[in-house]
């Protein structure tokens, strides 16, 4: 192994740090294999979480399983960036895959939701490095002008996994046992062979030179970033349950503010050694693209999480089907990524894609303002294509702009920092928009019951159903009968149950289900309006971002030049 790696590194050094197109593609194979693990896992587990929670008798604890993974993956992202600069990104990438696979193996044999949360935290430690390291390694081997088209391959991995994930998750969750092992456990066990393949591909093809950097590890930065981020993520995930102004939430706000202040102080003192060097923000381009990333993260994840819910609750499709119905967004994203990457590669222009991307994202959400419970799926698909095309232009362009705004030696930490802030924005976006959705829902359902059309239809349906019960045409355990009895007992509780379980809508007479479906659709519109307003801010900011010309050398070439110049 060492001979092959040294030979590859020697070829790179002889070429001044440059790799051929064929060599870059081989490296990409290894990168995409590692990233596919993390990308597929997130969508697979999300689809099957209900089944997993039921089997482990802990439905009320499922939020902690998600939170544990989110905390460790978010916190570890900037740490991987710095450690990659010190110890080499290839080594860190192999370690990240190994930790992820080990966490998957533990998760498969979790005996309780508490154990699963702990093991998912281990998985998250590995996942935090997979995406940020892959993008950073790509910056090492490809010049910024060429990097955009290669990033399209990487984003295609995420697009593919977002379609395959719900399908695979639904199949495993729906299977009782496979080879005498509970079906849901295979959601984690499948990562073992996939991880083994990824390790081999990375070991075989990912050969890039690394010049060791003597840095001390910023332990204070690592500690204070945990204090700053963990409370914020905890309240983001659990604020609706605790209450946003509860004692628990307020204590988290205070602790997070203390952590942020301590982190800034520690990073200022650490200087060049910092996990997140504050000097990066002296670049106006880096600062603005980071702010754009946070805003886009808020709008993107906050709005996107609503679409699968609409498909499943309002349109009544299964989680697996909703994954397939999200395909237009994926196709829009892949198409825009490929086109913007090719145009950037040929022209060197990338700022237009920030403006057009945020504009299309805003337009996609704006078109959803007229959404109703009976809006056809084809209209949703058109909106998804536009949203996907907006995202496809932004995801790689913002990262590319941030990388191009810092020196080659800071690309690792700049990339991981960009990913970190975007993920934080996405987490906060989901928390805020889920709250908007479900806080609005009771009033939206009540408003529907006050309309003449709904009142008339509901009354006629109820009379017909109870008449059939009296004549023995249907039994007392019929879903419509059970629904009417529960409605009579506590109508408010039934409306609030949409927050956690929409299964009571299955099999209902359309006239009985309409106020709930229409109320949910009306609540979703408020989310889309909020998402559009947030992304519109990013659209305005995108006009004032300065876009320096893309450098023509990769980070490895620039480092090789720097070493050569230092030698002279």
What are the tens digits of pLDDT across the range 93-105? 899 999 999 999 9
For the packed helices 62-87 and 411-449, what is the interaxial angle rounded to 10 degrees?
160
Nearest to 31 by CA among 207, 293, 209: 207
Q: What is the pLDDT of residue 7?
A: 47
Say if residue 303 is exposed, middle or buried (CB neighbours under 10 Å; 0-12, 13-18, 19+).
buried
Q: What is the pLDDT of residue 547?
A: 79
Start-end of CATH 1.20.1250.20 domains in the chain: 1-210
Nearest to 166 by CA among 333, 324, 385, 328: 324
DSSP state of 549: P
Question: Where do the DSSP E strands lie in 111-188?
Answer: 177-178, 181-182
Q: What is the pLDDT of residue 298?
A: 83
Q: What is the pLDDT of residue 559?
A: 61
Q: What is the pLDDT of residue 10?
A: 47
1-210 carries CATH number 1.20.1250.20: yes
Q: CB pairs under 8 A, 24+ apart, for 487-496?
A: 492/442, 495/441, 495/442, 495/445, 495/446, 495/519, 496/441, 496/442
Alpha-helix runs per DSSP H in 243-376:
247-270, 284-304, 306-309, 319-325, 327-347, 351-367
Q: What is the pLDDT of residue 5?
A: 47
Q: What is the pLDDT of residue 13?
A: 46
Strand partners, 181: 178
Nearest to 128 by CA among 46, 204, 222, 24: 222
pLDDT in tens, 45-95: 766 776 777 777 765 666 677 778 878 888 888 888 878 877 888 888 899
Three-state DSSP class for 177? Answer: strand
Averages of pLDDT over each 10 residues, the chain, 568 residues: 47 52 76 79 72 71 75 85 80 91 91 88 89 81 73 72 72 73 82 85 74 71 86 78 85 92 89 81 88 85 74 77 79 85 83 92 92 88 91 84 80 82 81 80 84 83 78 74 70 57 68 83 89 92 84 62 58
Q: What is the pLDDT of residue 360?
A: 94
Q: CB pairs under 8 A, 24+ apart, for 183-187?
A: 183/51, 184/48, 184/51, 184/52, 184/55, 185/108, 185/109, 186/108, 187/44, 187/45, 187/48, 187/52, 187/108
Q: What is the pLDDT of residue 364?
A: 93
């Amino acid at each position: 192994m060492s001979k092959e790696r040294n030979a590859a590194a020697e070829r790179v050094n002889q070429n001044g740090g440059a790799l051929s197109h064929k060599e870059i593609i081989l490296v990409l194979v290894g990168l995409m294999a590692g990233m596919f693990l993390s990308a597929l896992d997130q969508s697979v587990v999300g689809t099957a979480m209900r089944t997993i929670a039921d089997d482990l008798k802990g439905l009320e604890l499922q939020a902690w399983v998600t939170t544990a993974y989110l905390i460790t993956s978010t916190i570890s992202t900037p740490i991987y960036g710095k450690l990659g600069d010190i110890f080499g990104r290839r080594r860190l990438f192999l370690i990240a895959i190994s930790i992820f696979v080990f966490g998957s193996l533990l998760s498969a044999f979790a005996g309780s939701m508490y154990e699963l949360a702990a093991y998912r935290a281990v998985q998250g430690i590995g996942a935090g490095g997979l995406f940020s390291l892959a993008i950073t390694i790509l910056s090492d081997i490809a010049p910024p002008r060429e990097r955009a088209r290669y990033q399209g391959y990487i984003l295609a991995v995420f697009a593919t996994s977002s379609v395959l994930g719900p399908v695979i998750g639904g199949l495993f969750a729906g299977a009782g046992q496979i080879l005498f092992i509970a079906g849901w456990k295979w959601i984690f066990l499948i990562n073992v062979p996939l991880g083994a393949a990824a390790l081999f591909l990375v070991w075989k093809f990912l050969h890039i030179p690394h010049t060791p950097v003597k840095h001390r590890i910023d332990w204070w930065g690592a500690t204070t970033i945990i204090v700053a981020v963990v409370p914020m993520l905890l309240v983001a995930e659990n604020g609706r349950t605790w209450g946003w102004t509860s004692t628990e939430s307020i204590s988290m706000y205070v602790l997070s503010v203390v952590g942020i202040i301590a982190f800034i102080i520690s990073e200022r003192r650490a200087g060049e050694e910092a996990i997140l060097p504050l000097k990066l923000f002296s670049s106006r381009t880096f600062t603005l693209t980071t702010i754009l990333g946070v805003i886009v993260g808020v709008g993107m994840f906050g709005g996107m999480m609503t679409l699968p819910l609409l498909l499943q609750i309002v349109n009544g499709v299964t989680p697996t089907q909703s994954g397939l119905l999200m395909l237009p967004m994926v196709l829009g994203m892949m198409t825009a990524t490929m086109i913007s990457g090719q145009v950037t590669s040929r022209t060197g222009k990338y700022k237009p894609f920030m403006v057009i991307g945020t504009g299309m994202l805003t337009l996609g959400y704006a078109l959803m303002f007229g959404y109703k419970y009976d809006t056809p799926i084809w209209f949703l698909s058109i909106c998804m294509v536009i949203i996907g095309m907006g995202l496809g232009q932004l995801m790689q362009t913002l990262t590319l702009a941030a990388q191009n705004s810092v020196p080659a030696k800071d690309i690792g930490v700049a990339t991981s920092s960009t990913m970190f802030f975007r993920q934080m924005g996405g987490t906060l976006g989901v928390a805020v928009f889920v709250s908007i959705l479900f806080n609005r829902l009771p009033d939206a359902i009540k408003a529907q019951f006050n309309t003449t059309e709904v009142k008339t239809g509901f009354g006629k349906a109820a009379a017909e159903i109870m008449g059939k019960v009296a004549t023995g045409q249907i039994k007392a355990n019929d879903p419509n009968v059970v629904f009417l009895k529960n409605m009579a007992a506590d109508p408010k509780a039934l409306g609030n149950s949409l927050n956690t379980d929409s299964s009571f809508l299955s099999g209902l007479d359309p006239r009985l289900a309409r106020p709930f479906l229409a109320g949910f659709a009306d609540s979703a519109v408020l989310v889309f309006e909020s998402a559009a307003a947030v992304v519109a801010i990013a659209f305005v900011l995108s006009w004032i971002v300065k876009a320096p010309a893309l450098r023509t050398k990769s980070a490895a070439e620039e480092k090789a030049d720097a070493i050569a110049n230092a030698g002279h």
